[in-house]
Amino acid sequence: MKGLKYQMKSVLRDKFCLMTFLLPILVAVALNFMGSIDMSSLGELHFGVLENDLSPQTITWLERYGPVTAYGTQEELTDAINEPSTNVICVRADGDSLKTAISGDELDIFQQAAVTLPALYERREAAAQAEIQTLERPDILESVQGIFIPAILIVAMFMGCTFNAMNIISEKEDGVAFVNEILPMTPSQYILQKVVVGFLFGSLSSIVTACICFRLSWQNFGLMLALIVLSSFVAALIGLFIGRFSEGLMSGVVYIKIVMLLFLAIPLVCALIGVSGPLTVICNIVPSQPAFDGILALSAGSMGTAVKDVGILAIHCIAWFGLYVLLSVSDFCCLRVGH
């Protein structure tokens, strides 16, 4: 208990560490209160036209499909079309019909839209009379923005991992690790002291972030709490592994970088492309995947998936903790035999 007190004291003295744990909370506040980011334009069609070229009716018709921007000169329009970050389709009048122009580097879906736009224009009246049945999709994100909040939560949990890893590595560099070996302390006491600081601050930061971002019922809040606590614990444990296997600061940073990339990239890719089958099992080996999936499920109101993800995270906790204890005990035994 006394050791834990010293660990906490050292963190509280380090204002910079505290600021890092506060950062995800600040981002969550900014996202929540200072206006959301409009991600709806990502998959939309964008049209570029020349001023006074198309009739107002045609522009109104185009605006049904996506935003229309009017440019003063052909050069400005060509620059907008060739701008690599957008997929602007140039639309010009061609007698009673329309003609389109593209940059040629667009994805197939945008090229196809440019090919078919004149045909859509010609049969616009027939299309307006067709009956359209729109179905709701409960389990699919309404917008990509929904992915941002779980990503911030994952970062908040990851801070605990980084903190623990750097804590152990700097102890190794300063020689404190050798002192620890001769202290009257069992491996479990050592693990507890090391894991608790990153875990406590990582989970506190995530809980506050979650409270700001979500308005959950008590039942859902319980599940969210379970997801956060379990995944912060796994993240803190992974920090211990990184600290253990790093020889120096540089290699520690490389491991942290790789783990951070995996932690963020795998859940994001899975959420964006929708992974199924045996690949899901492989993705779940990365602890951030069930956490991310569970948070998304909770925000969509799907309790079953969230419970399943809590289960997967619990297995992660037991497996990683068991492995670390096993490694520590075997080291402890080796040390005793050595003495």
Smallest distance, other proteins to C-beta of residue 256, A: 7
- Length of the chain measured in residues: 339
CB atoms closer than 10 angstroms to residue 37: 11
Smallest distance, other proteins to C-beta of residue 337, A: 32
Burial of 328 (0-12, 13-18, 19+ CB in 10 A): middle
Smallest distance, other proteins to C-beta of residue 334, A: 26
Q: Which is nearer to other proteins, 61 or 190 (CB)?
A: 61
Q: How far apart are CA 267 and CA 153, in angstroms?
A: 12
Q: Which is nearer to other proteins, 82 or 188 (CB)?
A: 82
Q: Which is nearer to other proteins, 140 or 182 (CB)?
A: 140
Q: Which is nearer to other proteins, 131 or 336 (CB)?
A: 131
Smallest distance, other proteins to C-beta of residue 189, A: 23
Q: Which amino acid is at 171?
A: E
Smallest distance, other proteins to C-beta of residue 97, A: 8
Coil/strand/helix, residue 204: helix
- The gap from C-alpha 254 to its chain's centroid, in whole angstroms, comes to 20
Q: Which is nearer to other proteins, 112 or 330 (CB)?
A: 112
Q: Which is nearer to other proteins, 33 or 218 (CB)?
A: 33
Q: How far apart are CA 205 and CA 293, in angstroms?
A: 19
- Alpha-carbon separation of residue 212 from 17, 31, 153, 181, 269 (angstroms): 21, 10, 11, 42, 25
Smallest distance, other proteins to C-beta of residue 174, A: 9
- The gap from C-alpha 57 to its chain's centroid, in whole angstroms, comes to 42
Of 113, 165, 164, 157, nearest to 24 (Cα)? 157
Q: Which is nearer to other proteins, 53 or 225 (CB)?
A: 53
Q: Which amino acid is at 259?
A: V
Phi/psi of residue 47, each to 5°? -115, 145
Q: Are 219 and 30 in contact (CB under 8 A)?
A: no
Q: Which is nearer to other proteins, 137 or 339 (CB)?
A: 137
Q: How far apart are CA 294 and CA 148, in angstroms?
A: 14
